[in-house]
Homo-oligomer: A and B are copies of this chain.
Amino acid sequence: MSTTGSTFRSVHWTGNSVQIIDQTYLPQKEVTIHLQSVGQVWDAIKKLKVRGAPAIGIAGAYGLYLGIRELPEGVFSTFYKECERVAEYLNSSRPTAVNLSWALNQILDTIYSQKDEPIATLKELALQTAIIIHKEDCRLCKAIGEYGVELIPDNARILTHCNTGSLATGQYGTAFSVILHAHKQKKVKNVWVDETRPLLQGARLTTWELQKEEIPFTLNIDSAAAFLMQQGKVDLVITGADRITKTGDTANKIGTYSLAVLAKAHNIPFYVAAPYSTIDMGLENGRDIEIELRGDDEVTHFGNKRTAPKHVQVYNPAFDITPNRLISAIITEKGVITPEYKEKFERLFG
């Protein structure tokens, strides 16, 4: 399917460096920067120049190669110890992102498995593994879009939350990939974009991607979603996921659970799109997912401007939990999965 070839890439390997779109400048300016060293990659992840769990994993994988390519080509054990040190350093940039440590471990495992090869070959192998991780993510995201598009009716008015597009992944995105594929089939009438407080990933990033793809959209504040549904202006809701338990309970950006309850109350389908690796078969219940509480400043300030009085108490969870019963289907690269999730996940994992 070549119809989605227009999407840009937030992370690109130039042959010598990692080229990224610095997301901290969006939407004001599209600034491309080249990361030439592991230190620059660490900094880019830490400062959210590159964000979105899959995109961080990809950037980190290339970063590991940058960190080891100049190493002396002596004894394997010395070389490997240094590889582990570089990986640990990169992983410290955002210790909670599971994709990052997963990608770094993929490369370390590959190197270790070929330890009898010359160091030069192992370096090349590290790069090739990073490229494979990158390509694989693009493939998964494309497959999510291709499966998900079947759920989208003609003239669809789709509501989405946060940013799940090419900026957050290798390419295409997750929920965004479904929207993109539906658009290529001329099925999208309008995308309602939740601005997504507190960090405005919807207003800043999703709008920017939709403009780039020339997909019609309208920006709204998060709390207007219910009113849109009441007025019959929303045909379906689709979001990404940060973690899915084996029963289908889904952790995603704060505000997702609210949308799921509201969709149910208005008889609107609520879909989750995520690569299969997001499903954590080690967890049964959504309540067991630890929810990251973020800093007060995200709510009390805007840029450097204070918007709430001093000394206010703030509750700022980064994610919430949507129970499986509110999710109409989970769209993965292996296909569209409908309830009961647990049985079907077990079959697919088996």
Cβ contact within 8 Å between A262 and B258 = yes
A219 to B311, CA, bound (A): 11
Cβ contact within 8 Å between B27 and A309 = yes
Which segment, of A14-22, A42-50, A199-207, faces chain B?
A: A199-207
Tell me if A65 is interfacial: C-beta within 8 Å of chain B. no
Residues in B whose Cβ lies below 8 Å from that of A265 = 261, 264-265
CB distance from A340 to the nearest CB of B (A): 21
Within 8 A of B (CB), among A62-104: none
Which of A258, A302, A321 gathers most chain B CB within 10 Å?
Answer: A258
Contact of A320 among B224, B255, B261 (CB under 8 A): B224
Cβ contact within 8 Å between B312 and A219 = yes
Cβ contact within 8 Å between B223 and A222 = yes
CB distance from A296 to the nearest CB of B (A): 8
Within 8 A of B (CB), among A242-265: 254-255, 257-258, 261-262, 264-265
Residues in B whose Cβ lies below 8 Å from that of A314 = 218-220
Cβ contact within 8 Å between A257 and B230 = yes
Give me 22 A-to-B residue pairs in the complex whose CB atoms sit less than 8 angstroms apart, sorted by A's number.
Answer: A28-B306, A192-B315, A194-B223, A203-B307, A207-B312, A211-B312, A217-B313, A218-B315, A220-B315, A220-B316, A221-B255, A222-B222, A224-B315, A224-B317, A225-B258, A226-B258, A228-B315, A258-B262, A261-B265, A265-B265, A303-B303, A303-B305
Interface size on A, residues (CB 8 A): 54
- Copies of this protein chain in the complex: 2
Given A320-B230, A321-B230, are A217 and B299 also a contact pair (CB < 8 Å)? no
A192 to B207, CA, bound (A): 30
Within 8 A of B (CB), among A26-50: 27-28
Given A219-B299, A223-B255, A257-B227, are A204 and B313 also a contact pair (CB < 8 Å)? no
Tell me if A197 is interfacial: C-beta within 8 Å of chain B. yes
For A305, the closest partner residue in chain B by CB is B303
Cβ contact within 8 Å between A315 and B197 = no
Contact of A312 among B192, B217, B309, B320 (CB under 8 A): B217
Tell me if A208 is interfacial: C-beta within 8 Å of chain B. yes
Which of A207, A208, A226, A265 gathers most chain B CB within 10 Å?
Answer: A226
Cβ contact within 8 Å between B308 and A221 = no
Contact of A255 among B224, B299, B321 (CB under 8 A): B224
